Copies of this chain bind each other. A is one copy, B any other.
Amino acid sequence: MAPKYKLTYFPIMGLAEPIRFILSYGKIEFEDNRFESDKWPSIKESMPFGQVPVLEIDGKKICQTIAICRYLAKQVGLAGDNDWENLQIDMAADTVTDIRTKIVSPNYETDEEKKQKKKAEVINETLPFLLPRLDNLVKQNGGYLANGKLSWADLYFVALIDLLKFMIGFDITKDYSNLSALKNKVLEIPAIKEWVAKRPKTER
């Protein structure tokens, strides 16, 4: 029997969206359990390390977005064919996570003036250093983040673009032709297109 999947997260795309993309890509049914923020304190206590997203697989609670993505990718044909290919996928995905972390970091600053200064640094220094390199990685890999073919790293990246846009104020792929093309390519995958059309509409 197919395992039963239940995904628990806030009622937003956020860090759960890459998991939803991969499940949708594999046409795997899952319970998309979105809780309201006022329920968070009690849910937090019941989660392995007080974090979400958590994916329950036949009732066993698993946390950590990237770990979940990698596991599901193996079930749906989005992992590499060998250890070397998986290394390239992992390197790309962790680099995307670093970019995400840098974009999110100014929001932890409580002082408004400092927050704006940090945000400007991210926009004017960090991203202009990292995004051309990510764009070039995609160029070198035939339009994908790794190995010249679609992998879960591509879905992970594209699923996070809306969250990053909400955080930083613009689509980070806008000035990068290889990243834009990758985004369009992933969003044109029929199963992804279908998911995006039917998912709850949220701003992040």
Contact = CB atoms under 8 A, between A and B. Distances in A.
Interface of A: 48-51, 62-64, 66-68, 70-71, 74-75, 83-84, 86-87, 90-91, 93-95, 98, 101, 105, 108, 110-111, 114, 129-130, 133-134, 137
Copies in the complex: 2
Contact of A71 (B64, B75, B90): B90
12 contacts: A49-B95, A50-B130, A50-B133, A63-B91, A64-B90, A66-B94, A68-B87, A70-B86, A71-B86, A71-B87, A110-B114, A111-B114
Given A49-B98, A66-B94, 13 more contacts: A48-B133, A50-B133, A51-B98, A62-B91, A63-B95, A67-B87, A67-B94, A68-B87, A71-B87, A71-B90, A101-B101, A105-B108, A111-B111
Contacts of A110: 114
Nearest to A47: B133
Contacts of A130: 49-50
User: Interface of chain A, helix or strand or loop or mixed?
Assistant: helix
Contacts of A62: 87, 91
B49 A67 contact: no
Contacts of A108: 105
Given A70-B90, A87-B71, A95 B50 contact: no
B90 A83 contact: no
